[in-house]
Amino acid sequence: MNFILKMTSLLNITLVLLLSERTIVVASHGQLSSEKTSNIQNKDLVTNLPHQPNVDFRHYAGYVTVNEKNGRALFYWFYEAWTLPDEKPLVLWLNGGPGCSSVGYGATQEIGPFIVGTDGNSLQLNPYSWNIEANMLFLESPVGVGFSYSNTTSDYENLGDDFTAKDTYAFLHNWFKKFPSYRTRAFYIAGESYAGKYVPELAGLIYEKNNDPSLFINLKGILLGNPETSDAEDWKGLVDYAWSHAVVSDETHKTIRESCDFNSNNTWSNDNCSQAVDEVLRQYKEIDIYSLYTSVCNANSAYSENKQVVFNKSTSKMMPRIIGGYDPCLDDYAKGYYNKPEVQKALHVSNGLQLKNWSICNMDIFNGWSQSIDSVLPIYKKLIDAKLRIWVYSGDTDGRVPVLSTRYSLSSLGLSITRSWRPWYNQKQVGGWIQEYEGLTFATFRGAGHAVPIFKPSESLAFFTSFLLGESPPSQR
């Protein structure tokens, strides 16, 4: 799971909520009249968000039903691009967990335009918001995450990777009915951590379904940050990184290397292996595994105890508490803000009287996750063959999905190198290192933890811009 940025008054622009209807170009499938579509959009238009800074872009929030029979509905928050929204691409951002909120993390703490203040009440403007470059769509998925829900109890017992991909796919098509001008827009999917599985799986599903012209989504590429990719390589990278960064002893690392077969279905049946890995996790409880060199949150002792390393060794799932960097207590602030009656009312979640209990991560979903794909590398190969743009990046101070895990995973693809390892720059400083392969680009962010945009906001926005343009970041000062 997955945030404070220094704000600048230069971007404190006058609020202009354009309530007038915009001319809408409707795709041939799922046509709605311009008047009806405008009414649907205006119903979700956010106009009275408490303590919102003044901005001149519109944003929308609300529900999209993905299954009428079971009453499944996913909550979204959509920010138009700061300028020229009709000319800029659409980007879907997903956080992982599984069970964590893309609104609470991505939108609120990382790349959205509004960052919750330390009082859990105010909002501050993020001068490095990604909606400077794109129309940004944040989704709380699957049901049970954040404000998303199902009226059918059994749905919560069947949550898994495939379930999530299918519901997210249904969400997109139904969301396009609300916003039909985006149906043919250049579309990208981005995310981090366990969304390292969500994003390729969704991209693969879109690619397969695009054979039907009536279902076509103009997918151009995917962007993945510190992504869980392949369980075996992820585990190997985690323990090697812990050892190489002096978190565990030589003896513990040697035991793991000699007794653990992470490619085996019976990895944890070996007691020596299991106990040695437990020792790695025990040491990581002393610090923030998501950001090795920053402080932990001590503001609320009960909260801090609940935010220790959470791990399910059998499935390699781990709750991605994405905090660190500027302020390690950001999760608390988000929880305070999104449980305010006036906030939920403004976001069209409730009437302000019957509150929904919003949490940044749902541990019941995490613990009950029923199906997880071992590796998305085969999907990578399919997307590479389809000529989609694939960029992967790693904050190099993350211990949970460390740079070593990602390098091991990508190495196993056996891709040809087209541009060799070199530094990339932002504002005349080394942002990290980058290497380009046939069909894939990999980059590091120097000094960044698990949620890179928290630690390196300016660099992240510059990198995101390069990704959208399909151009390499600067390789000289």
Catalytic residue from among 102, 148, 193, 409:
193
Sign of dihedral through CA atoms 319, 202, 64, 26? positive
Distance, in Å, from the CA atom of 430 to the CA atom of 223, rounded to the nearest integer, reads 21
The residue behind tokens 């951002």 is 93
Distance, in Å, from the CA atom of 60 to the CA atom of 42, rounded to the nearest integer, reads 8
Preceding amide of 98 cis, omega within 30: yes
For 255, list phi and psi in degrees, rounded to 5: -60, -45
Angle subtended at Cα 189 by Cα 27 and Cα 219, rounded to the nearest 5 degrees: 40
For 179, list phi and psi in degrees, rounded to 5: -125, 70
The residue behind tokens 């000094």 is 447
Distance, in Å, from the CA atom of 10 to the CA atom of 465, rounded to the nearest integer, reads 21
Distance, in Å, from the CA atom of 7 to the CA atom of 11, rounded to the nearest integer, reads 8
For 301, list phi and psi in degrees, rounded to 5: -60, -40
398 noted as active-site residue: yes
Task: Please state the three-class secondary structure of 412-447 as a single string.
Answer: CCCCCEEEEEEEEEECCEEEEEEEEECCEEEEEECC
396 noted as active-site residue: no
261 noted as active-site residue: no
Could you tell me where the beta strands, DSSP code E, fall in 168-276?
Answer: 187-193, 219-227
Catalytic residue from among 398, 405, 409, 460:
398
Catalytic residue from among 59, 129, 155, 450:
450
Distance, in Å, from the CA atom of 452 to the CA atom of 288, rounded to the nearest integer, reads 15
The residue behind tokens 């292996």 is 273
Coil, strand or helix at 79:
strand
Residues serving a catalytic function are 193, 398, 450
